[in-house]
Amino acid sequence: MIVQQLRDALHSAEVEEIWKNCLEAYQESTAQERLDLAEWIAAVRTNFLAHAEDIGDDDEEELRTSLALGYIELKSKWQMLNTQINYQVFRRGEANITLTYKSTLLSILVDKIGSFITDQDLHKIQEFLLSPRTTAL
């Protein structure tokens, strides 16, 4: 049941529309660059869902642990992109615009996945990601 809900949420019309609008706003890009970004984020989603589907609903505790780990992985990637973007702006005065759009697309996915994690666990994860050396999971 959780896997189907996750699949439905990550393939929702809302997610698709936000991604579509984001990519359409990327006027500085070529059609191929937008297609590459769309394929990249779709692959991220597919890989995340494949992992959840392989575990399935039979072991809810393991599935929820894996969802949390996947959330940590993707949220960490999002944070890394934003750090890179910020340093590009700081050092060069501008960021690689493709990375900016990649970060935006990924943030939508991360937010949707986060809705499947308990508030308590989400709080712990966010504390850890903000300060990994001082926070225990």
- Please provide the DSSP assignment of 54-79 as one string: HH-SSSHHHHHHHHHHHHHHHHHHHH
Closest to 123 in 3D by CA, of 133, 111, 137, 134: 137
> Is residue 135, in this structure, part of any structural domain at all?
no
> Is residue 137, in this structure, part of any structural domain at all?
no
Per-residue buried b or exposed e for 48-61, using 16+ beta carbons within 10 Å of the residue's own CB: bbeebeebeeeeee
> Is residue 112, in this structure, part of any structural domain at all?
yes
Domain extent at residue 20? 2-130
DSSP 30: -
> Is residue 83, in this structure, part of any structural domain at all?
yes
> Is residue 105, in this structure, part of any structural domain at all?
yes
Q: What is the pLDDT of residue 118?
A: 82
- For the stretch 33-71, pLDDT in tens is 999 999 999 999 999 999 999 999 999 999 999 999 999
The segments of the chain whose pLDDT lies below 50 read none
pTM surpassing 0.85? yes
> Is residue 35, in this structure, part of any structural domain at all?
yes
- Ranges assigned E (strand) in 21-132: none
For the chain, the domain total comes to 1
Burial of 21: CB neighbours in 10 Å, binned 0-12, 13-18, 19+: exposed
Q: What is the pLDDT of residue 43?
A: 98
Q: What is the pLDDT of residue 40?
A: 98
Residue 42 has φ and ψ, to the nearest 5°, of: -65, -40
> Is residue 136, in this structure, part of any structural domain at all?
no
CA–CA gap between residue 113 and residue 3 (Å, rounded): 11
